[in-house]
Amino acid sequence: MPLAATMSAWAPRLLSVLRIMSGLLFLEHGTQKLFGFPARMGGGPAPDLLSLPGIAGSLELVGGTLIVLGLFTRPVAFLLSGQMAVAYFLAHAPKSPFPALNGGDAAILFCFVFLYLVAAGPGPWSLDAQRRGRI
């Protein structure tokens, strides 16, 4: 089998792997904000859930979990992509125009990975695919 055909056959599965890994990393940001795990430098008490960090942590925790499971992937990814765009412009861009200096490179990367998931969908290893009978 030619290499291109082999890679094309793996593309849907690797989409699922990208979704799962991105969701796990995003979920970790939520647990860090809400539960202090993993501990971060200068970490304090958990934020009030109705504060901006509390809302962000809740979106990261719940949204990350749904992304990992591949459940409601497109609407959740759309919401999280928007959250990351807002996070970048509120928290990172004012520090410096360069993402490597302002600490916003992860926010930009999450924003565009989630935007890609809006268009591409969850891949075959997902609850969305299972609900549609594609597994």
Full-model pTM: 0.93
Q: Is residue 113 part of a domain?
A: yes
Per the structure, the count of domains in the chain is 1
Q: Is residue 12 situated within a structural domain? A: no
Q: Which residue has the tokens 């970490």?
A: 43
* Residue 71 domain boundaries: 23-131
CA distance 51 to 44: 14
Q: What is the pLDDT of residues 74-124, one digit of tens each?
A: 999 999 999 999 999 999 999 999 999 999 999 999 999 999 999 999 999
10 is a domain residue: no
Q: Please give the Cα distance from 85 to 22 (Å, whole number).
A: 16
For 11-63, the pLDDT digits (tens) are 999 999 999 999 999 999 999 999 999 988 777 778 899 999 999 999 999 99
